[in-house]
């Protein structure tokens, strides 16, 4: 039985967990001799610290988004060489000790990092040869922040060819260690949606805003000149107050949903709709790109989502409605204009044309070769 350890950071549900879960589901289905274990690293180190940090993070991005973005850009967007600035240098030995203890206890034959911080700690330990276990970075945004370990990591599953070029040119990583996989999604989402969508009288829009629910619903519908011209499915996540508010409207064209954890149910919903309005989170956007659905955004979190948005806008993979007085006109134009639909489809196909392998197939290849003779793969 080959033991594989997957490392997100926080307990709270996020793209880091979704990617880890998708890979676990694939491995344990396709390779019965593999045993996978997922551990959110910060909780393993100290549950009290994890709770405090996650609560502070959510409070910070909601109450002071501008300052969060400035700090994120300064410390995480470039290569992270300012540990002493945030007094994290003093804490690194503690996290290194915890990581070594975890590896000694779990005895994994492969470690997969879906968050940058465990990757950073493992890089430091592997450089000092205190950890020998092979490590794979699986990037979950459309860029690679400066926290991620680069040298000393055995494989990199990157979101696009530009990221591969950056690792080669800037960090001198060998090309054979880098695989362009895109941001991994569950295999269920990899099939295209219903080609007959859009043939009905009303376009059907999915509003998805992450686990906390999409921003200001009243503001959104206020900027839709005629709410009856579209049908809406609204993912409220764990935001019960938002769900109750929308349900209380009793609007015939607006259907709210609580948090959907079932992948098949989520896939059916994707297949029903004509477009999605969401924040530019890496995993959600990747799921929707696989479904070939037009993507609109009206809101984004500072930091990683803002940087994701730049990449997506640059490559024409998202329509940014921010700043428009009325949303409906832009959405209706995109969904009803065949030429624009074709242009968007070509841009999406162009994005996927650079993918070398899915993360699932790349991981299967690595595991297969490693099981045959790990000395050949990682010598």
Q: Each residue of 99-121: pLDDT tens digit?
A: 999 999 999 999 999 999 899 99
In 3D, which of 164, 158, 117, 119 has the Cα closest to residue 139?
158
| CATH number of the domain that residue 142 is part of | 3.40.50
Strand duo 319-320 + 254-257: pairing: unpaired
**Which CATH number fits the domain that encloses residue 338?**
3.40.50.2000
Same domain for 135 and 158? yes
* 281 and 299 co-located in one domain: yes
Cα–Cα distance between 348 and 294 in angstroms, integer?
10
- The answer, yes or no, to whether residue 347 has pLDDT greater than 90, is yes
Tell me: do 293 and 363 sit in the same domain. no
Q: Regarding predicted confidence, which is higher, 168 or 80? A: 168
How many domains does one find in the chain? Answer: 2
Alpha helices, DSSP H, located in 252-327: 263-272, 282-290, 304-314
* Percentage of the chain exceeding pLDDT 70: 79
Q: 157 and 19, same structural domain?
A: yes
Same domain? For 198 and 108 the reply is no
Angle at 295 between CA 294 and CA 296, to 5 degrees: 125
Give the model's pLDDT for residue 143: 94
Q: Is the pLDDT of residue 35 over 50?
A: yes
pLDDT at 376: 47
pTM of the entire predicted model: 0.88
Residue 261 CA to residue 235 CA, distance in Å, equals 11
Which three-class secondary structure state does DSSP give residue 265?
helix
Q: Which residue has the higher pLDDT, 163 or 91?
A: 163
pLDDT value at 129 more than 80: yes
> Which residues constitute the domain of residue 322?
190-353
Residues 246, 342 share a domain: yes
> Lowest mean pLDDT: which of 11-15, 72-76, 324-328, 347-351?
72-76
- Mean pLDDT is lowest, of 39-43, 222-226, 275-279, for 222-226
Q: Which pLDDT score, from 0 to 100, does residue 299 have?
A: 79
In a shared domain, residues 239 and 322: yes
**Can you tell me the distance from the alpha carbon of 331 to that of 321, in angstroms, rounded to the nearest whole number?**
9
For residues 155 and 265, membership in a common domain is answered with: no
Query: Are both 148 and 170 inside the same structural domain?
Result: yes
Mean pLDDT is lowest, of 189-203, 220-234, 288-302, for 189-203
Query: Is 67 a residue whose pLDDT tops 90?
Result: no
Structure confidence at residue 131 (pLDDT)? 96
Nearest to 24 by CA among 158, 189, 184, 150: 184
In eight-state DSSP terms, residue 217 is H
With a cut of 80, say whether residue 167 has pLDDT above it.
yes
- pLDDT higher for 74 or 313? 313
Q: Which residue has the higher pLDDT, 224 or 210?
A: 224
Q: Which residue has the tokens 């709210």?
A: 256
Looking at the fold, whether 157 and 271 belong to one and the same domain comes out as: no
Does the CA dihedral 294-264-187-210 come out positive or negative? positive
Instruction: Please tell me which residue, 299 or 293, carries the higher pLDDT value.
Output: 293
Taken as a whole, the chain contains a residue count of 379
Same domain, 258 and 119: no
Residue 89 pLDDT grade (very low, low, confident, very high; cuts 50, 70, 90)? low
Task: Judge if 369 and 319 occupy the same domain.
Answer: no
């Amino acid at each position: 039985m080959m033991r594989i350890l997957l490392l997100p950071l926080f307990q709270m549900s996020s793209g880091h967990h979704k990617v880890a879960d998708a890979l676990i589901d694939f491995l344990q289905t396709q390779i019965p001799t593999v045993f996978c274990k997922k551990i959110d690293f910060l909780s393993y180190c100290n549950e009290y610290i994890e709770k405090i940090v996650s609560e502070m993070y959510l409070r910070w991005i909601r109450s002071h988004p501008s300052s969060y973005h400035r700090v994120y850009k300064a410390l995480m967007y470039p290569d992270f060489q300012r540990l002493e600035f945030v007094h994290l240098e003093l804490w690194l030995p503690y996290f290194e000790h915890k990581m070594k203890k975890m590896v000694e206890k779990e005895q994994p034959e492969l470690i997969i990092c879906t968050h940058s911080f465990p990757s950073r700690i493992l890089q430091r330990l592997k450089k000092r040869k205190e950890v020998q276990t092979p490590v794979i970075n699986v990037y979950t945004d459309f860029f690679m922040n400066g926290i991620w370990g680069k040298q000393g990591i055995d494989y990199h599953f990157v979101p696009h060819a530009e990221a591969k070029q950056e690792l080669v040119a800037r960090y001198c990583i060998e090309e054979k260690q880098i695989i362009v996989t895109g941001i991994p999604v569950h295999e269920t989402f990899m099939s295209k949606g219903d080609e007959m969508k859009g043939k009905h009288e009303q376009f059907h829009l999915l509003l998805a805003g992450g686990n906390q629910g999409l921003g200001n619903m009243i503001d959104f519908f206020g900027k839709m000149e005629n709410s009856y011209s579209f049908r809406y499915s609204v993912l409220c996540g764990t935001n019960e107050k938002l769900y109750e508010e929308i349900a209380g409207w009793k609007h015939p064209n607006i259907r709210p949903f609580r948090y959907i954890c079932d992948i098949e149910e989520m896939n059916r919903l994707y297949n029903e709709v004509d477009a999605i309005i969401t924040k530019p989170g890496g995993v959600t956007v990747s799921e929707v790109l696989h479904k070939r659905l037009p993507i609109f955004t009206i809101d984004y979190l500072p930091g990683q989502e803002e940087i994701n948005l730049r990449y997506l806008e640059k490559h024409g993979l998202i329509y940014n409605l921010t700043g428009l007085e009325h949303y409906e006109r832009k959405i209706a134009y995109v969904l009803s204009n065949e030429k624009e639909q074709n242009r968007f489809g070509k841009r999406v196909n162009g994005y996927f044309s650079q993918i070398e392998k899915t993360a699932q197939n790349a991981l299967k290849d690595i595991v297969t070769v490693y099981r045959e003779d790990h000395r050949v793969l990682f010598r």
